[in-house]
Amino acid sequence: MKKKILSSLLCATVAATTIIGCGQSAQETSESTTNATAEVSATEATSEEAKTEETTSSDSGEKVTLSIYTQYADDDTKVPYDYAVEQLKEAFPNVELNLIVQAQDDGQTLKTLAATGQLPDIYQASTDIINTFRESNQIMVLNDVAQSTGFLDKLYEANKDLAYAEDGNIYAFPFSGQEYVLWYYNKALFEENGLEIPQTYDDLKNCIEVFKSKGITPLALFGQEGWNTAAAYDVVATRYTEGGIKALDEGTASITDEAYASAAKTLEELVAAGLFQDSATTTNYDQASEMFLSGNAAMFINGQWYIEDATSALGENVDWMFYPAADEASYEAGKSVFSGGGSASGFAVNPDSENAELAAEVAEFITEKYCEAKVMYRHNPLVALDTGKEPDSEYPAMMKKLSDTLPTITATTKFTWGLTNSTFNDGIQSESQGLVSGQFTAEEFIADMTDIME
Amino acid sequence: METKKGILHKIFIVFCWIYAAFSLYPLIWMLFYSFKTNQEIFVTNPFGFPWPLHYENYITAWTKYDVPLYFLNSLLVSIGTVVITIFCALLFSYATSRMIWRGRTFTRLFLGLGMFIPVQAIMIPVVKVVQKFNLMGTRWSLIFPYIAINLAFACMVYYGFFKGIPLELEEAACMDGANIYQTFFRIIEPLVRPATVTLVIYIFLNAWNEFILANVVVGSIPGLKTLPLGVLFFQGEFTTDWGGMGATMVIASFPAIIVYSIFSEQVESAMTIGGAVKG
Amino acid sequence: MWPPDLLKRNNTMKKYMGNKLAIFLFVLPALAIFLIFDFFPIIQVFAYSFTDWNGLTTPNFLGLKNYIDLFNDRVFYTSNRNQLIFAIVITVYQMLFATIFAITISDKKMKGRKFLRVAYFIPVILSVTVVCQLWSAILSGQGLLNKLFEAFGSDYTQNWLGDRYKAIYVIAFVNAWQWMGYQFALIVAGIKSIPADYYEAAKIDGCSNVKAHMKITIPLLAETYKFCLIISLTGGIKAFTEMNILTGGGPNKSTFTLTYMMYNAAFKKSDYGYGLASASIMVIECMLVMLVINFIFREKNQLKEEEKSKKRRLSYGN
């Protein structure tokens, strides 16, 4: 019995090596195809090849393989990556990328890779990652590269602060520019029910009542994700004080300030009125998004990157509104304050990489190409760099409206991934979720947040 | 009285079958799910038959990553884990349950520690150990940690089974002049086959479905990735292609189910042989 | 475990079963792997729990600070309460259903028993991700369960996974449902190893089927039940994935467990040391549970053994 298992194991191993061999040659032939998916597997195959080459003959060392840890799942991440890889072939013909797809695991994988010295050459780093890796010198200072590659010249003036960390160094090349939390609504649903766009919370409560009586969810929240509940709190908080959660994160305001207490109270009331679906805290992004796109929910809170998806599903029927406020005066005043903002997230380089200098240049190149692809194919002009590219079709109406509003925006806050205080970040995500669930009171929220901040 | 009992029995039988249907439902649901789009899954048709069939989910899954290669890696890692774990656990449990030496209870409980530690907690130290032994870049980098994860559990199950075997068996073997190794491999080991079979299935599935360690250890090595890592190609920062993930999960689960269905016949016969020897 | 009278009777047996070389060879492979890949990392977990390590930098010794903070953390108590609930729910559910189904399946007269046996095991084969996706679809606000209640005109629709206090029971149920099949398989294997003549003897004595099982199966499977109990309880204490997928620990951390706390602290807050402190507490809790179970079962085992040897002597006498 044992022998049988062992021998079959051996057989399988032999089969394994032959199959891997076959796979490689098959993929080599498909290398020339520009098909996006074939691209990845081809890259993977050739990267393996390159590795063996490196070890066997170092004198022929023309090809360099750089590993890159980044997202590669939906159109918003695949399109830029594929575009960047294609462009890279011309600009850096000797460089191959070995793609490691990023896991949605709060940085668990990346941190473990760093702790065990296996950090990829290039990786997508969030603010939290940058701050953590900075302490252990596992993230390269890119000041010189940013200068020599012309990155700093291309960086939009408004995004200058995004590139620099607290200590004044550049650790990552950001590709996203300033981003905004938009309050989307389904125009058709509002019109059918004879409703105006709510300006005050009383208007909003009226809308909630009407929608609920029709069996429509007023606002679909994806509250399983802490950032969305934090954003829900922030869009209310910014109506009372323009600092929002950013001021709390930086410690320039306190959760016990009246503005934040009022915001919590308001959100509590809106939740009690039924603004969100009952199971908001266990709803994921796709569930909530589908509710909105299929007309089962009238409103939705998400970043401006959602414009493309919303427009392609709902066309003329979707728009965004300024966040409602306590009264008309603060509604008008609040038009210049948006929740959201930029973050220092971007492509970072492992300083211990064998080809660190080259990796830094490639990281910068990829960042530029990401920006180009986002403008051209994703119709999102809110990127970090001035690419000089035009979109392949007209910008959606919502994006135009946002562009027109941009000059009037005087203050933004932050997305949770841009927050620098990780204790506050964890606290605001879970506490706002409690508030949104309707099972924690505004008083509990304030008291718990006070505890956490101590 | 008799009829009342009969009715109760019938109700009970019906309940058994309903529960079985309830256990089989996920299979059908998963199959349906893998042919749907996000919109169908969440809004329009979460539970019904998928129509039209979005079989392109399978095409996406198949083209996004090298399914046969991942499959093979999963298979090799799982088989390696199962064989070594079973071998080590059998020997260890026999020594701690039936052989006579000081400190055997302590040794057994000591090894039991392994059951209690979550993978997330020991991940960094484990990966460092794997590196120290120069196992990175080989399938052993997954096999050894997997053995360590399953060992304590396997030992505990075997311990229970060894304890249940009549003591006279060794006595008889000893009198017949067999040495301890012969006694163990020829007489005792066949008696715990039912346990071995259940453990083989359990450990195989554990190794087959493991994600967290696999992602850290072989996530950056294209040639060594295992099937569970395939789902990464569908999970974006915000949106997830659930239908594609469903297809990936079907591709990953159905081989296990087929193997089990075939194997379960084997289970049955292995168990009856074990019983017959003992009776 | 070897009854003293048997050993006295046969001194060569003691030598035979005390073969030092064999013991060494048998224990070595498992112990070596355990020491290297389990014990050594566990030691580090305990050591780092006294530091401010974030996983990357050189750690600074903090003394008991992490533990003191832990005992002052509201979430620590929620986590412990949840673990207890989780462990109790899955233990009761799994052992009850596993026993009932195992006995039913072992009855040779039962029709379709082979099919049922495979069916009950199916959830075990599926990955936790699949099972959790299914249940989150069933239990969500617009899910199957609520729709069924609506269809029957019942008012019992619930926010199953979003409730601060009840969600943990629902998650425990999902876990119990999935892993019941494994305990079922273990008990079936156990029943198979019980000689059939025991039951025949019981039948001759006029015992009903149920009574025969109560008298024979359950006591003889004490060892099997012991590890089923350990699996359930420690499984409850270690639970993580279900929470992660079904509720994300929410709302507001009310479905956290110590493993979740560890994960949250280590990876969301980059406070590995604090996370490892909660992991250490968890390991200690698990060890205590195992020792208590061993203690309870040991008493019974000894009693049983004594009875057995009494019977044996009687039968020898005859």
In chain B, which residues have their Cβ closer than 8 Å to the Cβ of A105?
215
pLDDT at site C96: 93
Of B39, B44, B123, the CB nearest to A112: B123
How far apart CA A428 and CA A422 sit, in angstroms, is 10
Chain C residue set in contact with A, beta carbons under 8 Å: 54-57, 74, 136, 140-142, 159-164, 246-254, 263-264, 266-271
The nearest alpha carbon in chain C to B132 belongs to C36
pLDDT (tens digit per residue) in B22-36: 899 888 888 998 999
C183 in Cβ contact with C95 (< 8 Å): yes
Q: Which of C237, A429, A100, A22 is nearest to B214 (CA)?
A: A100
pLDDT at site C195: 74
- Going by the DSSP 8-state scheme, the letter that residue B235 receives in this structure is B
Any idea which of A1-5, B255-259, C70-74, C124-128 has the lowest mean pLDDT?
A1-5
B196 in Cβ contact with B162 (< 8 Å): no
Mark which residues 161-220 of A lie under 8 Å from B by CB: none
Q: Check whether B171 has a pLDDT greater than 70.
A: yes
Q: At what angle do helices A422-437 and A127-135 cross, to 10 degrees?
A: 150
In chain A, which residues have their Cβ closer than 8 Å to the Cβ of B68?
19, 23
Taking CA atoms, C166 is separated from C150, C186, C238, C255, in Å, by: 20, 30, 19, 9
- Give the distance from residue A254's alpha carbon to the nearest chain B alpha carbon, in angstroms: 30
How far apart CA C249 and CA C268 sit, in angstroms, is 13
- Going by the DSSP 8-state scheme, the letter that residue A324 receives in this structure is P
How far apart CA A52 and CA B49 sit, in angstroms, is 48
pLDDT at site A4: 43
ω into B125 cis (within 30 of 0)? no
Task: Work out the percent of chain C whose per-residue pLDDT is above 70.
Answer: 91
**Average pLDDT estimate for B200-227:** 88
The nearest alpha carbon in chain B to C183 belongs to B198
How far apart CA A279 and CA A274 sit, in angstroms, is 11
Residue A25 DSSP SS3? helix
Is A278 in Cβ contact with C250 (below 8 Å)? no
For an interface test with B, the pick among A74, A110, A122, A224 (most B C-beta atoms closer than 10 Å) comes out as: A74
**């020491």: which residue's tokens?**
C35
How far apart CA A147 and CA A144 sit, in angstroms, is 5
B neighbours by CB contacts (3+ pairs under 8 Å): A, C
Task: Work out the percent of chain B whose per-residue pLDDT is above 70.
Answer: 94
- Give the distance from residue C57's alpha carbon to the nearest chain A alpha carbon, in angstroms: 5
Could you tell me what percentage of chain A is helix, strand and coil, using 3-state DSSP and rounding each to the nearest 5?
Answer: 55, 15, 30
Q: Check whether B41 has a pLDDT greater than 80.
A: yes
Written as one letter, the residue type at B91 is L
pLDDT at site A9: 39
pLDDT at site A128: 86
pLDDT (tens digit per residue) in C163-207: 888 999 999 999 999 999 989 988 888 887 777 778 888 878 877
Q: Check whether B62 has a pLDDT greater than 70.
A: yes
ω into B52 cis (within 30 of 0)? yes
C neighbours by CB contacts (3+ pairs under 8 Å): A, B
Question: Domains in chain A, start-ordered, CATH in brackets?
Answer: 18-178+343-389 (3.40.190.10), 180-341+419-453 (3.40.190.10)
Q: What residue ranges of chain A have pLDDT lower than 70?
A: 1-61
For an interface test with C, the pick among A106, A225, A249, A281 (most C C-beta atoms closer than 10 Å) comes out as: A281
Enclosing H/E stretch for A8: helix A2-29
In chain C, which residues have their Cβ closer than 8 Å to the Cβ of A280?
162
pLDDT (tens digit per residue) in C106-144: 887 888 888 898 899 889 888 888 888 888 888 887 778
CA dihedral of residues B166, B170, B171, B173 (deg, nearest 10):
130
Is A6 in Cβ contact with B72 (below 8 Å)? no
* φ, ψ of residue A225 in degrees (nearest 5): -95, 120
pLDDT at site B272: 54
pLDDT at site C312: 54
For an interface test with B, the pick among A18, A49, A72, A286 (most B C-beta atoms closer than 10 Å) comes out as: A286
B195 in Cβ contact with B157 (< 8 Å): yes
The nearest alpha carbon in chain A to C272 belongs to A111
A5 in Cβ contact with B79 (< 8 Å): yes
Q: Tally C-beta pairs within 8 A across A and C.
A: 108
Is A12 in Cβ contact with B66 (below 8 Å)? no
- DSSP-assigned states of every residue in C194-231: S-HHHHHHHHHTT--HHHHIIIIIHHHTHHHHHHHHHH
pLDDT at site B256: 81
Q: In the sheet where A318-321 sits, what is the strand order?
A: A217-220, A297-303, A181-186, A318-321
Taking CA atoms, A65 is separated from A122, A143, A365, B182, in Å, by: 11, 24, 15, 54
Of C55, C142, C270, the CB nearest to A422: C270
pLDDT at site B277: 42
pLDDT at site A41: 43
pLDDT (tens digit per residue) in C199-250: 888 878 877 777 888 888 888 888 788 888 888 887 777 788 888 888 888 7
Enclosing H/E stretch for A419: none
In chain C, which residues have their Cβ closer than 8 Å to the Cβ of A435?
252
- DSSP-assigned states of every residue in chain C: ---HHHHHH-HHHHHHTT-HHHHHHHHHHHHHHHIIIIIHHHHHHHHHTTB---SSSPP-B-TTHHHHHHHT-HHHHHHHHHHHHHHHHHHHHHHHHHHHHHHHHH-TTSTTHHHHHHHHHHHHHS-HHHHHHHHHHHHSTTSHHHHHHHHTT-S----TTT-TTTHHHHHHHHHHHHHHHHHHHHHHHHHHTS-HHHHHHHHHTT--HHHHIIIIIHHHTHHHHHHHHHHHHHHHHH--HHHHHHTTT-STTTT--HHHHHHIIIIIS--HHHHHHHHHHHHHHHHHHHHHHHHHHHHHHHHHHHHHHHHHHHHHH-
How far apart CA A203 and CA C7 sit, in angstroms, is 88
Is B99 in Cβ contact with C17 (below 8 Å)? yes
Q: Tally C-beta pairs within 8 A across A and B.
A: 129
- Give the distance from residue A409's alpha carbon to the nearest chain C alpha carbon, in angstroms: 31
pLDDT at site C297: 79
- Give the distance from residue B220's alpha carbon to the nearest chain A alpha carbon, in angstroms: 5
In chain A, which residues have their Cβ closer than 8 Å to the Cβ of C248?
224-226, 282
Average pLDDT, chain C: 84
pLDDT at site C301: 59
Any idea which of B114-118, B170-174, B219-223, B264-268 has the lowest mean pLDDT?
B264-268
Two tokens, residue C199: 């039951």
A neighbours by CB contacts (3+ pairs under 8 Å): B, C
For an interface test with C, the pick among B122, B165, B242 (most C C-beta atoms closer than 10 Å) comes out as: B122
Mark which residues 242-261 of B lie under 8 Å from C by CB: 242, 249, 252-253, 256-257, 260-261
- Give the distance from residue B223's alpha carbon to the nearest chain C alpha carbon, in angstroms: 23
Q: Check whether C299 has a pLDDT greater than 90.
A: no
How far apart CA A269 and CA A34 sit, in angstroms, is 54
Two tokens, residue A388: 């000089």
